[in-house]
Amino acid sequence: MNDRLDGHVKFDNVGLRYGTDAEVLSNLSFTLYPGSFYFLTGASGAGKTSLLKLLYLAQRPSRGAIRMFGQDLMTMPRTRLPDLRRRLGVVFQNFRLVPHLTAFDNVALPLRLAGADEARVVKAVSDMLEWVGLAHRAQAIPATLSGGEQQRVAIARAVIARPKMLIADEPTGNVDPEMALKLLRLFEALNNRVGTTVVVATHDVHLLKKVPDSLIMRLNKGQLSDPTGALRYPPRPSSAPGASSGGEGGA
């Protein structure tokens, strides 16, 4: 399958429910194209985190079909999921840093799990910590880091392995505006220079204006409520593929 034409991720009539409760996500159909920058917005409880969980493979949908990097997630055995997950970078809402590991070792985890050479790990992680302003906190464990510092460690961990797709849940929620902008520029750089597809869930409407070429997906009560792409900011250039929702074709 050609990712450029068919997208990195394709949702087809996907629904998600936890246990026997009502569906938290319903009838989601959209495509995420390689090299695009998406903002996912919506009120609290709209289902943003649930949608992200489906994207970063923490959850299987209750119904529908999902293809990721050309592979059918519905029939894929769980033993092959690590290969897919190594192509993703994730900034979790509550950071999910490993509490016993130092900032350095947390950032190094994706590279070490992928079997990277230790010399390369040390260099890459040191540079990354330097860049997010945490070189002096490299040996600190998460409990001794502030919320903003933990968030920067989480972001460094998410981007360290140059993922094909970066998924971030409120990544700028705990940092000052200057650091928020800096992190957003990092996401943009990944998007523009490395071709990483970026999906950022956020409440911050001001953030949307900072990335001019971004596409916007809005969730409302578990459904994508932007079938025409009218909420996209700024208007999408006609030549670029983008997000489509609600089974309406391209946005």
Position 96 contacts other proteins (CB under 8 A): yes
The structure tokens listed for 42 are: 């919506």
Position 85 contacts other proteins (CB under 8 A): yes
Q: Applying CB under 8 A, which of residues 63, 74, 93, 116 lies at the interface with other proteins? A: 116
d(CA 86, CA 188): 20
Sites for other proteins among residues 187-206 (CB under 8 A): 189-190, 193-194
Position 1 contacts other proteins (CB under 8 A): no
Smallest Cα–Cα separation from 83: which of 203, 182, 198, 164?
Answer: 164
Position 122 contacts other proteins (CB under 8 A): no
Smallest Cα–Cα separation from 3: which of 32, 37, 27?
Answer: 32
Which is closer to other proteins, CB of 83 or CB of 240?
A: 83
Position 75 contacts other proteins (CB under 8 A): no
The structure tokens listed for 45 are: 């409880």
Torsion of CA 90, 94, 99, 104, to 10 degrees: 50
Position 60 contacts other proteins (CB under 8 A): yes
Do residues 153 and 134 lie in contact, with contact meaning Cβ atoms separated by under 8 Å? yes
What residues make contact with other proteins under the rule CB under 8 A?
Answer: 56-60, 78-79, 81-88, 90, 96-101, 105, 109-116, 118, 120, 123-124, 127-128, 130-132, 157, 159-162, 164, 181-182, 185-186, 189-190, 193-194
